[in-house]
Structure 1
Amino acid sequence: MIEDDLRAAFARHEPLIPPTGPLRAAIHRLANGRRRRRRRWQAGGTALAVLGVLGIGVPLFTPERAGPPPVAELIGESGRPATTGAVTMLLLGIDSNGPATPLADSVLLLHIPADRSRPYLISLPRDLEVPIPGHGTDKLNAAFLLGASANSDRTDLTRGYELTRRTVAELTGIRTASGVVLTYPALGKLTDAVDGVRVCLPQQVRSIHTGRLFPVGCQRLDGAASVDLLRQRRGLPLGGQDRDHNARLYVAGLVDQAAKNGVLTNPVRLSALLGTAGSDLLVFPDRAALLDVAQLVPTLRSVEPVGLSLPVVNASGPRYLLSPDPELAPEFLAALHEDRLGDWAARHPDLVDADR
């Protein structure tokens, strides 16, 4: 009797059972996903092992030069959610030659808009007169010098970066959550690692250090030539502003070459490339910041940066100080705040770097 009752109950509820096809398909997708993740882990581990055998180190991402990121992070399995909204990163180019405390020759903001159209590379002139927290008013590039030399016993690049970050925040109102410090030796190593960088100069540049002539037009530069070019400001019509322009052209060329080499979308290749810079490359606040930005590259419609500069008025006085343009600078900074740089660039095409 009980057996008959059970059979009757099953018969009554059988129409309520959902179809098994979708369930089987879901299980199949889950199993395939797990298999793909295992293969990526294996491929990532093999690739890192090969890099180790070849003597190519992975980058030391943190300011304290801690060890390499975990394999899972390098091959995209860190589980970190993708960054949403606009992202702005601070980039500092440092001349560290000789025993003197290094100077921030290039101060740049890398802005990636929320619509992921293309990145914007913004120069903040080093000769801009700005308030430096705790140190009165001085040139923008003095912030790194004052911070890095705060401890008389040693040069502290982390303190230099932090004081520059705070100074830039007061100047622009943008509080950058992450940043990179690159010394000139690091730039040279990165250039050679991607087989040179193509730079298209709008004017001739003569090196006061080596006598080398950089002609008008497009040319491919190796590491030594790139560093030589980026050091030049004397003899240029606008001095440091022309050097900032050349720095933006160089960074755009470096990004373009890295993209052509497939580096920007391959975490292992990107890690190997940055590893060539060694301790000459610092990332703040930690290695995850660079990984977060790298995650955004595949979402961009174009990786070629739009080159801009904070509008300034001509230098005045014996110290060659610059001031923000009273009309254009507030409009520019408002566009940066509101993530409208594309609109601003369209309305001021004469203030945008020419396409490569």
Structure 2
Amino acid sequence: MTRSNKNRRKVRWGRLFGALLLIGIIIVGLFHIFQYIEGTIKAVNQPLKKVERKQTFQGEKNKLDAINVLLLGSDSRGEKQARTDSIMVAHYDPQTHKIKLISLMRDMLVSVPEHGQQKLNAAYSFGGPELLRETIKENFGLDIQYYASVDFKGFEKAVDLLVPNGIEVDVPYEMSHGIGMTLEKGKQQLHGKELLGYVRFRHDRLSDFGRIQRQQEVISKLTDEAVTLHSVVKLPKLLGLINKYIDTNIDGSTLLTIGKDILMKKSRDIETIRIPEDGSFQNKRDEVLGDVLEVDFDQNIEALNNFIEAKSSVQNEAQKE
């Protein structure tokens, strides 16, 4: 056999191998897409987890308007009156595709219906998401249509599923007290359990203020991870975690509408605010409740309304044109 024939045979085998490899990639890709579609359809057709309560969540829903979702991090530990470590409201506008995140300080002194002056997170202990919704409405005038209470174990599992290699954070100092672990100072990759400790830590000079900053940081980074291709194929498993670890009244179609905007990067950037804002509260010591934040409600209601109604500079310029 001549050298030229050998070369042609090598070329043909090389082309054949390349073609088989390409076909294999396509088949694997189609298989994952099929799994994604099939799993998503099954997840949407199944009702999301609902926990029977003495009270139902009474937020009025209108699919044409912007919606507010009460986001809660719950540490039940088997207790009947669960605590909530984090209280946030996610504001989503289907017209602008914008997502805004409102963090509410749990130690704010507020009026809780039928319970008088209490810390904000006490409303959840007394009456679950519904009483907390009523409390936020009464004190800040904010309507909330949906809620999602995330069990801490669910947070850990969701992080490990979405970002198996962890998320890089810059730990400002050693964190250990009250989180069941020790996080060393410096940049490092944190996985689900460690990341939960990072967002829960509050025993420093910033207390809850620092914790809220870390919560907003982690949510922003998780959102960035959610738009990647490898996370899209995990959507059915993520919906499965929702059914197991999240108590919510959000219907599947609403969840997918918001998720679609995130995946298409329409809602990539999340704007954040903390209530109470700087200069609008005083630290007080209550004989019964302990340390509380005495809030200027008028100032914070105005700040909250301005934050929700504000449009981005890009949108303002587009409207001018």
Q: Structure 1 length normalisation: TM-score? A: 0.64
Alpha-carbon distance, 1:188 to partner: 0.3
Q: Which has the larger radius of gyration?
A: 1
5+ residue gaps, structure 1: 1-38, 66-81, 148-159, 344-356
8 Å contact 1:116–1:300 — kept in the other structure? no
The alignment status of 1:61 with 2:56, answered yes or no, reads: no
What amino acid is the match of 1:323? E
- Superposed CA RMSD in Å reads 3.5
Shift of 1:323: 2.8
Sort the Cα spacing of 1:98 and 1:282 in 2 relative to 1 into closer, same or farther, 3 A. closer
Residue identity (%): 23
2:227–2:264: 8 Å Cα contact kept in structure 1?
no
Matching residue of 1:352: none
Q: State the alpha-carbon separation in 2 of the partners of residues 332 and 275 from structure 1.
A: 37
Contact 1:63 1:286 in 2 (8 A): no
Aligned residues: 265
Trace 1:296-307 onto structure 2 (pairs within 5 A).
296-297=261-262, 301-307=266-272
Counterpart of 1:191, as a letter, is V
Pairwise mapping of residues 117-136 of structure 1 onto structure 2 (< 5 A)?
118-136=98-116
Cα distance in structure 2, aligned partners of 1:225 and 1:206: 10
Q: How far, CA to CA, are the matches of 2:205 and 2:293 in structure 1? A: 15
Aligned pairs for 1:219-258 within 5 A: 219-234=188-203, 236-258=204-226
- The match for 1:333 is 304
- Pick aligned residue for 2:152 from 175, 184, 188: 184
Aligned to 2:9: none
> 1:92–1:107: 8 Å Cα contact kept in structure 2?
yes
8 Å CA contact retained: 1:207, 1:229: no
The superposition leaves residues 225-269 of structure 1 with CA deviations (integer Å, 9 ceiling, x where unpaired) of 0122232112x2121222122111121121111122454xx5x74
TM-score for the superposition, normalised by structure 2:
0.70
Offset from partner CA, 1:119-159 (integer Å, 9 cap, x none): 22110001011111221110111111111xxxxxxxxxxxx
SS at match of 1:320: strand
SS at match of 2:227: helix
Q: Is the 8 A contact 2:106 2:120 kept in 1?
A: yes
In the TM superposition, residue 335 of structure 1 has moved relative to its aligned partner by 1.0
